[in-house]
Structure 1
Amino acid sequence: MLVSWNWLKQYVKLDMTVEQLEQRLMMSGLNHEGTAQVGDDVAIDLEVTSNRPDCLGHIGVAREIAALYPQSLALPAAAPPESATQVDSLAKVSIDCPDLCSRYTARIIRGVKVGPSPDWLVRRLQTIGIAAINNVVDITNYVLMESGQPLHAFDLARLEGPAIIVRRAVPKEPFEAINHKTYELDREMCVIADARRPVALGGVMGGADTEVSTATRDLLIESALFDPISIRTTARKLILHSDSSYRFERGPDPAGVDWASRRCCELVLEIAGGELAAGVIDVGIPPQPRQPIVMRLNQVERVLGIPIDRGEICRILASLGNEELRADQHLVEVTPPSWRRDLQREIDLIEEVARIHGYDQIPEDAEVPMSASARSDDDRVKVRVRHTLSAVGFDEAMTASVVSDELSNAYTPWTSHDPFSCQTPLLRGATRLRRSLVPSLLAARRTNEKLANPEIELYEIAKVYLADGAELPTEKKMVALTSGGDFFHVKGALESVVAGLNPAVNLQVTELEDSLFEPGRCGQLQLGEDLLGFLGEVGEEGRKRFELRDRTTVAEIDLAVLARHANL
């Protein structure tokens, strides 16, 4: 992220040297990557971590400086004058895919004069490596780099309707971007369309058909919020990355959508002239209020190892935009600002206090009280299970929790509900949270057979994710085994596991029929009245499905049931 020294001075006083500012920002978490002299300005390159999209604009960096060097922040009012004409009489906006675009705002300016930008605007953009195009496009880029909120300007006369329809792309729908390259879209991509065709790729790039030129007289200014995962997927599929997509992937300030729109219109009226229609077309979900966070003052000293004055703590939190709800001798309760979505918990506020107070103010030998935590019963059960299975010749395996549709549907003894899906696949073709460990272990066994290691005996202790009609899955920790031995060999290993936890408990086996297993070689396992799991030799059809050559036996048991019957 390149920032301009002269640009920052518009919002905060810079009484320090460039080197002093770079050092202070680096100590607060904005790592300094480099500095370059650009004319009478200085470009500072900062590394902004993915959890701090608020610093992907000059105002966000200025907020940090105002907190580090206690001072006020001067922000533009963004209050453009409006004409008598109502904006909703000039265009219509609708969102057909709220999961991809949660909010869309539009303002209209008529009678602009598109031409070269003034020198000050050209210099600001050149300092941070952006070439000037024309005054309207330069203003949208300026506000993007000022606020971190991407915008787009359409030539209103070239919009059919005029209407804006935010929708999913039609499979194989062609789209010509402003880089004059044509892309083939799919249904997972969000497009901004008019009444006839796509005019922009939502959150990524505008279209060539409606780009602003010297012939443009009327503008529609877009400021919106798009789904970060959708933007990331689209940009990667099309290999089409932009400053806008970079920011939408990380999530701009939800409350900054309207401010950026007003700021853009203010500058257009000032530089390109025209009249702004009254009001705004605002479709979708408005910004939601943030939940308050309570921070105990004694926790600050416990975590950091040094006492910090309550007044200083309150000053730091307020300087970062937190709204104080109450404060006393024991705690502070604040509502985080809309632009700091990384502030969710008490420890996040403590980190902010340490960051702004200065990590260099915390002695290296500061005493932080620590106490050893006791091992839970579940952990002790897992340790005994591991020791027992290792002792009888099994090796521990680790397989991915996200599997393909084929593996997900291969064996599901614990639920009949459909699996949960991941929006972003961690592995190619793997989108389902697994409902059993058995298919993953059988796939691992197949790999070992192909690598001339057919005698391998594997076990895995991991979670499965079961749907029960709720929004989130029920997570259960399981133990699964696979062996080239027969039914009784694996049953013996499980009896050793049970005996290692409680010798007084007997493992009961009831015959069961399942299409994956050989008839008469499959059983349901119980401890008393509790269902423990399942055991069986994989049948011929199952071996074909998993491409297994040799005899294979598998079992899967519920770790929570084991823990209930354990005598620790």
Structure 2
Amino acid sequence: MNVSLNWLATHVDLKGKTPEELDRLLTFAGVEVEGIEVKGIASPLIVVAQIMEAVQHPNADKLKVTQVDAGEGSLRQIVCGAQNYKVGDKVPCALPGAALPGGFTIGEAKMRGVESKGMLCSASEIGLTDLVDGLMILPADSPIGKPVKELFESDVLLEVEVTPNRPDLLSHYGMAREMATLLEVPLAPLEIPARDSFVPDGVKIEDPDVCPLYTAVRISGVKVADSPAWLVDRLKSIGLRPINNIVDITNFVLHEIGQPLHAFDAAKVSGSLVIRTAKEAEKFLALDGATYTLQADDCVISDEAGTALALGGVMGGVDSGVTEATTDILLESAYFTPSCIRRTARRTALSSDSSYRFERGVDPQGVDAGSALAVKLILEIAGGTATATTMKAGQAPVPTKPVTLDFAKLDQLTGSSIPHSEAAVILTRLGLTSASDGTWLVPSFRADLQRHIDLVEEIVRVKGLDAVPSRFRGTFVPSSPVDAAYDADMRLRERLAGLGFHECQTIKLIADAQVSDALPLKPLLPGDTIRVNLPLSEDHAVMRPSLIPGLVASAGRNVRQGTKALRLFEIGRVFRNAGGGKAKDLESDSLGILLSGPALPAGWANPETAADLYDLKAVIAALVPTAALQLVPRNREGFALACDIQAGGQNLGTFAMLLPSRQRELDATGPVFVAELDLPKLRKFAAGSAEIADLPMFPGSSRDVALEAPSALANAEIERVLAKVKDPLLTGFECFDVFRDAAGEKLAADRKSIAYRLHYRASDRTLKAEEIDTAHKAVVAAITSGLSLIQR
């Protein structure tokens, strides 16, 4: 929210306080100031100067050399390109050293060979609004040499981030009330004439659950026109665009005291105003020009003919809006249930200053005050006659209740650093009233104060946390499973970063189209995905069942920005139902990895080769150094290559390559490999480290063997059998060749030949050929008998 200090100063005395001091004051009181903007003329080196002479520049047709009197006792030479002035005019002159908007500082320079000692300025160049094309011509009676900033009012704009629990700060008077409390200065009372005559005629509430209180005032004979200068300046000071006097007054009241209002053209309303819920699929044409399909829980303001005039608390309609032809208006002021407004605003993606406040909760007691203030201003500015009575239906809810302050707990929490009398004074300054039974009556605009601890927080916040002495230091806490999981995740992050990977943090909501990229540990069944009831957009409609969709989307964006080598990972939570939706809302932690692009950095000595599945397998192996890693093929719909990852005989996750068609959609130049690992299982493996063995003292030897096997037999099956061979001399093995003959000439088309290299060594001696041959025959026999293979 933008807060104008000039506007704020009409309610509370801010003299002697710099914007920086106010920034610090609010920030330490829990109201974050995100930015400070100075509006108007800031530099004192921009002064009133009179043009005494202007001659043609010798080297430029469109420039003139002027002599100006800036009150320095001598004339100053300045080169100027403007054409709208004459000798004798008074204009703003920026002297050397003057800082102009945009970070530009004036200096002395030569322009086309002629010295220029400053700059004659237009209005926009010094922070004002241009009214003419060229220099800003100042009034003839402006004192020469006087800083121009003293001739025009400047302002400071604070950009304040208001937390959802403090809707009372969403107005200038609410912010002034906060300032008065923190500065311990008086708050100027609002001058609002009371309207104490109410009748139930003219408005009907059909559903009090969505609108507990609604009022309307009829004003006849108004003249819709431009707003007066003071009102225009007020709205422009906080970045609002003036529209007409009626609309501007409703906007002013909203930002003045925080009560949203709306004005209907009375000629377009048939009978009474009816506050109801929408009919299913009812259409509504809003002021933004779009037509919205409503649902049965949306609040609608309609007339007795059933025409929807406004979407209650969110936005008015085109057909009932105030125009230049309007002469009679109905002024709405109401209280809407926050949850109803929030639901409608989110579903329709309609957001307005009114809905922003209604969905956080406005002051129910401010409904009548907002209406009365707007009526007063409309009669003063737009003329007309208001009915003596206010049409009113419903009752204002009571959002607060008496709260007891436990002084013993206050002393315990603050170390008795805040006297009880001072605590009572602070609560009184905040607007609370002490009751005879020892409780505190909370004003309606502070619905966030519900418990004892809320009062303690307010007392400490206003007093200042630095005034409360520190009493405790950190104490030893034994390690917990949460700590162990955190440490394991950090080790995984460090290992992946050391391998050249970059960590991603993607949103937990994905689009329907991204579900096809999911690679969960167990394949998804219909009903397993968890959908959001009211998604903010189509891109955030599904709770992610896997981390891979987010990594794939990130990879696509990186590729389009010119990245060739993709090394991405993410640690996060995934969500799914299970068993076709029979089990609900299961959450688990996963590690997602994506690899694509060159295997090595580009260089004259490195031929550019694309990373393959073995590169990603090596990365996963580095994460589980204490376990043997195997990839077991398993078909996965939507992927060209897929398998289960097994470590130490346990399923650890899934591994896949994207389809070439999906790869082309990402504009990737090479295969894209992804893996998703079960994080709790991975933590157990990552907790250990590989044992470092001594270098062997005796040489080893290798033997090769070629095995003929069915084409469908996976290498993992052969490796599983080899891993079970208990021969003490066998120290390792690897597959180094595979041969197939699709024509069936050298080998049957449904068969393949696989070549393995087996390594043998003894730790206490050099092996003899006979020992190696005996061990090799035993190992080959175990393989061939265990899987019915043929040795070739």
**Which letter does structure 2 place at the counterpart of 1:351?**
E
**Which letter does structure 2 place at the counterpart of 1:226?**
F
Aligned to 2:336: 226
Aligned to 1:353: 459
Conserved 8 A contact 2:298-2:344 = yes
225-234 or 137-146: which moved more? 225-234
**CA–CA distance in 1 between the matches of 2:374 and 2:475?**
54
**CA–CA distance in 2 between the matches of 1:9 and 1:444?**
53
The one of 276, 279, 288 equivalent to 1:170 is: 279
Conserved 8 A contact 2:417-2:467 = no
1:47 pairs with 2:161: yes
Shift of 1:98: 1.5
Residues 87-98 of structure 1 aligned to structure 2 (within 5 Å): 92-98=202-208
1:24 pairs with 2:133: no
Aligned to 2:4: 4
The one of 288, 293, 302 equivalent to 2:403 is: 293
Aligned to 1:122: 232
**CA–CA distance in 2 between the matches of 1:81 and 1:248?**
23
String of CA shifts for 1:512-534, please: whole Å, max 9, x gaps. xxxxxxxxxxxxxxxxxxxxxxx
**CA–CA distance in 1 between the matches of 2:233 and 2:278?**
38
String of CA shifts for 1:216-251, please: whole Å, max 9, x gaps. 111111111112222122112222111111111111
Secondary structure of 1:24's aligned partner: helix
**CA–CA distance in 2 between the matches of 1:428 and 1:99?**
29
**CA–CA distance in 2 between the matches of 1:305 and 1:80?**
46
Secondary structure of 2:334's aligned partner: strand
**CA–CA distance in 1 between the matches of 2:585 and 2:368?**
53
The one of 241, 253, 262 equivalent to 2:372 is: 262
Secondary structure of 1:132's aligned partner: coil
**CA–CA distance in 1 between the matches of 2:323 and 2:198?**
22
Secondary structure of 2:287's aligned partner: coil
Aligned to 1:61: 175
**CA–CA distance in 2 between the matches of 1:42 and 1:322?**
31
**CA–CA distance in 2 between the matches of 1:307 and 1:66?**
23
Shift of 1:24: 0.1
1:100 pairs with 2:100: no
Shift of 1:207: 0.7
Shift of 1:423: 10
**CA–CA distance in 2 between the matches of 1:351 and 1:292?**
16
Conserved 8 A contact 2:273-2:303 = yes
Describe the shift of the 1:3–1:446 C-alpha distance in structure 2 as closer, same or farther (beyond 3 A).
Answer: closer
Shift of 1:63: 0.8
Conserved 8 A contact 1:80-1:266 = no
String of CA shifts for 1:524-555, please: whole Å, max 9, x gaps. xxxxxxxxxxxxxxxxxxxxxxxxxxxxxxxx
Secondary structure of 2:405's aligned partner: strand
Secondary structure of 1:351's aligned partner: helix
1:192 pairs with 2:301: yes
129-138 or 308-317: which moved more? 308-317
Shift of 1:87: 7.6
Aligned to 1:156: 266
Shift of 1:304: 2.0
String of CA shifts for 1:370-393, please: whole Å, max 9, x gaps. 999xxxxxxxxxxxxxxxxxxxxx
Secondary structure of 1:101's aligned partner: coil
Conserved 8 A contact 1:305-1:368 = no
**CA–CA distance in 1 between the matches of 2:585 and 2:405?**
47
**CA–CA distance in 2 between the matches of 1:336 and 1:165?**
33
1:367 pairs with 2:481: no
Unaligned runs of 5+ in 2: 41-153, 477-531, 544-577, 591-633, 637-642, 651-792
**CA–CA distance in 2 between the matches of 1:428 and 1:291?**
39
Secondary structure of 1:262's aligned partner: helix
Conserved 8 A contact 1:303-1:368 = no
Shift of 1:323: 1.1
17-26 or 228-237: which moved more? 228-237
Describe the shift of the 1:143–1:445 C-alpha distance in structure 2 as closer, same or farther (beyond 3 A).
Answer: closer
Secondary structure of 1:298's aligned partner: helix
Describe the shift of the 1:336–1:368 C-alpha distance in structure 2 as closer, same or farther (beyond 3 A).
Answer: farther
String of CA shifts for 1:35-85, please: whole Å, max 9, x gaps. 112232111111100000110111111111111011221132210689xxx
Aligned residues: 393
Aligned to 1:37: 38
1:137 pairs with 2:247: yes
Secondary structure of 1:73's aligned partner: coil
**Which letter does structure 2 place at the counterpart of 1:168?**
T
Secondary structure of 1:250's aligned partner: coil
Taking structure 2 as the reference length, what is the TM-score of the superposition? 0.46
Aligned to 2:450: 344
Unaligned runs of 5+ in 1: 373-421, 431-436, 457-568
The one of 427, 431, 444 equivalent to 1:321 is: 431
String of CA shifts for 1:191-217, please: whole Å, max 9, x gaps. 100122101010100011111112111
RMSD: 3.4
**CA–CA distance in 1 between the matches of 2:379 and 2:586?**
69
Describe the shift of the 1:25–1:445 C-alpha distance in structure 2 as closer, same or farther (beyond 3 A).
Answer: closer
**CA–CA distance in 2 between the matches of 1:122 and 1:27?**
33
**CA–CA distance in 2 between the matches of 1:30 and 1:56?**
11
Residues 245-284 of structure 1 aligned to structure 2 (within 5 Å): 245-284=355-394
Conserved 8 A contact 2:362-2:445 = yes
Aligned to 1:480: none
**CA–CA distance in 1 between the matches of 2:27 and 2:192?**
31
Describe the shift of the 1:206–1:361 C-alpha distance in structure 2 as closer, same or farther (beyond 3 A).
Answer: same
**Which letter does structure 1 place at the counterpart of 2:308?**
P
**Which letter does structure 2 place at the counterpart of 1:367?**
R
Taking structure 1 as the reference length, what is the TM-score of the superposition? 0.63
**Identical-pair percentage:** 43
The one of 438, 441, 466 equivalent to 1:335 is: 441
Describe the shift of the 1:42–1:353 C-alpha distance in structure 2 as closer, same or farther (beyond 3 A).
Answer: same
Conserved 8 A contact 2:400-2:450 = no
Shift of 1:444: 7.5
Shift of 1:311: 2.2
Describe the shift of the 1:446–1:234 C-alpha distance in structure 2 as closer, same or farther (beyond 3 A).
Answer: closer
Secondary structure of 1:59's aligned partner: helix
**CA–CA distance in 2 between the matches of 1:357 and 1:9?**
23
**Which letter does structure 1 place at the counterpart of 2:466?**
D
Conserved 8 A contact 1:203-1:245 = yes
**CA–CA distance in 2 between the matches of 1:222 and 1:26?**
35
Conserved 8 A contact 2:199-2:392 = no
1:183 pairs with 2:292: yes
1:77 pairs with 2:191: yes
Structure 1 runs, 4 residues or longer, greater than 3 Å off: 86-89, 368-372, 422-430, 437-453
Conserved 8 A contact 2:434-2:440 = yes
String of CA shifts for 1:326-359, please: whole Å, max 9, x gaps. 48xxxx5211110111100110000000000012
Describe the shift of the 1:303–1:208 C-alpha distance in structure 2 as closer, same or farther (beyond 3 A).
Answer: same
Greater C-alpha Rg: 2
Describe the shift of the 1:228–1:425 C-alpha distance in structure 2 as closer, same or farther (beyond 3 A).
Answer: farther
Shift of 1:439: 11
Structure with bigger RCO (C-alpha 8 Å, 6+ apart): 1
**CA–CA distance in 2 between the matches of 1:22 and 1:336?**
27
Shift of 1:288: 2.4
**Which letter does structure 1 place at the counterpart of 2:222?**
V
